[in-house]
Chains A and B, each alone.
Chain A
Amino acid sequence: MGTTAAVSLAIRVIPCLDVDDGRVVKGINFTGLRDAGDPVELAARYDAEGADELVFLDITASSGDRKTMLDVVRRTADCIFIPLTVGGGVRSPDDFNQLLRAGADKVSLNTAAIADPNLLSQAAERFGAQCVVLSIDARRCPPGVSTESGFEVTTHGGRRSTGIDAISWAIEGTKRGAGEILLNSMDADGTKTGFDLQLIEGVRSVVQVPVIASGGAGALTDFAPAVNAGADAVLAASVFHFGEFTVAQVKQTLNEAGIPVRLMTH
Chain B
Amino acid sequence: MSIREIVILDYGSGNLRSAQRALERVGATVTVTSDFDTAVNADALVVPGVGAFAACMRGILEVQGDQIIDRRISGGRPVLGICVGMQVLFARGDEHGTEVAGLGQWPGMVEQLEAPILPHMGWDTVRAPASSKIFDGLADERFYFVHSFGVTKWQLNENTLDRQPPVVTWCTHGTDFVAAVEDGPLVATQFHPEKSGDAGLALLQSWVRSLY
Chain B, Cβ-Cβ closest to A11: B122
A47 interface residue per 8 A CB criterion: yes
Q: Is the interface of B mostly helix, strand, loop or mixed?
A: mixed
Least Cβ–Cβ distance between A232 and chain B, in angstroms: 7
Question: Are A210 and B121 interface neighbours, CB within 8 A?
Answer: yes
B6 at the A/B interface (Cβ < 8 Å)? Answer: no
Residues on the A chain within 8 Å of B173, using CB: 9
CB pair B119–A179 under 8 Å, yes or no, is yes
CA distance A10 to B171 in the complex (A): 13
The residues in A between 65 and 92 inclusive whose CB is less than 8 angstroms from any CB of B are 74, 77-79, 81-83
Nearest A residue to B173, CB-CB: A9
Residues on the B chain within 8 Å of A74, using CB: 17
Q: A105 to B144: give the CA distance in the assembly, Å.
A: 12
Question: B18 on the interface (CB 8 Å rule)?
Answer: yes
Alpha-carbon distance between A150 and B104 when the two chains are bound, in angstroms: 52
Mark each residue of chain B from 145 to 176: 1 if its CB lies under 8 Å from any CB of chain A, else 0: 01110000000000000000000001011001
Q: Closest A-chain residue to B204, C-beta based?
A: A81
Within 8 A of B (CB), among A242-266: 262, 265-266
Please count the residue pairs between chain A and chain B whose beta carbons lie under 8 angstroms apart in the complex. Answer: 106
- CB-CB under 8 A from B209, the residues of chain A are none
Known contacts A81-B196, A130-B146, A209-B119; decide if A8 and B125 are in contact (CB<8 Å): yes
**CB distance B118 to A209 under 8 Å?**
yes
Q: Say if the beta carbon of B42 comes within 8 Å of chain A.
A: no
**A1-B170, A210-B122 given as contacts; is B51 within 8 A of A128 (CB)?**
yes
Asked if B197 lies at the interface with its beta carbon under 8 angstroms from chain A, I say yes
B116 within 8 A of partner (CB): yes
Q: Evaluate contact between B17 and A129: CB separation under 8 angstroms.
A: no
Q: Does any Cβ of B come within 8 Å of A103's Cβ?
A: yes
Interface size on B, residues (CB 8 A): 39
B122 touches A52 (CB 8 A): yes
Chain A interface category by residue count = 35 or more
A101–B14 touching, CB < 8 Å: yes
Is there a chain A Cβ closer than 8 Å to B200's Cβ? yes
Tell me if A179 and B200 are in contact (CB < 8 A): no
Are A10 and B142 in contact, CB atoms less than 8 angstroms apart? yes
| Distance A130 CA – B195 CA, assembled complex (angstroms) | 14
Does B124 lie within 8 Å of A130, measured CB to CB? no
In the assembled complex, the Cα of A8 lies from the Cα of B140 at a distance in Å of: 12
Given contacts A9-B124, A208-B116, A210-B119, contact A81 B17 (CB under 8 A): no
Q: Which residue of B lies closest to A51 (CB)?
A: B197
Asked if A233 is at the interface (CB within 8 A of a chain B CB), the reply is: yes
CA distance A2 to B127 in the complex (A): 8
Show the binding face of B for A, using Cβ within 8 Å. 14-15, 17-18, 21-22, 25, 50-52, 116-125, 127, 140-142, 144, 146-148, 170, 172-173, 176, 194-198, 200-201
List, sorted by A's number, 11 A–B pairs whose CB atoms are closer than 8 Å.
A10-B142, A78-B17, A81-B25, A81-B196, A83-B195, A129-B148, A180-B121, A210-B117, A210-B119, A232-B122, A266-B198
Question: Which of A's residues lie within 8 Å of B, judged by CB?
Answer: 1-2, 4, 8-12, 47, 52, 74, 77-79, 81-83, 100-105, 127-131, 179-180, 208-210, 232-233, 262, 265-266
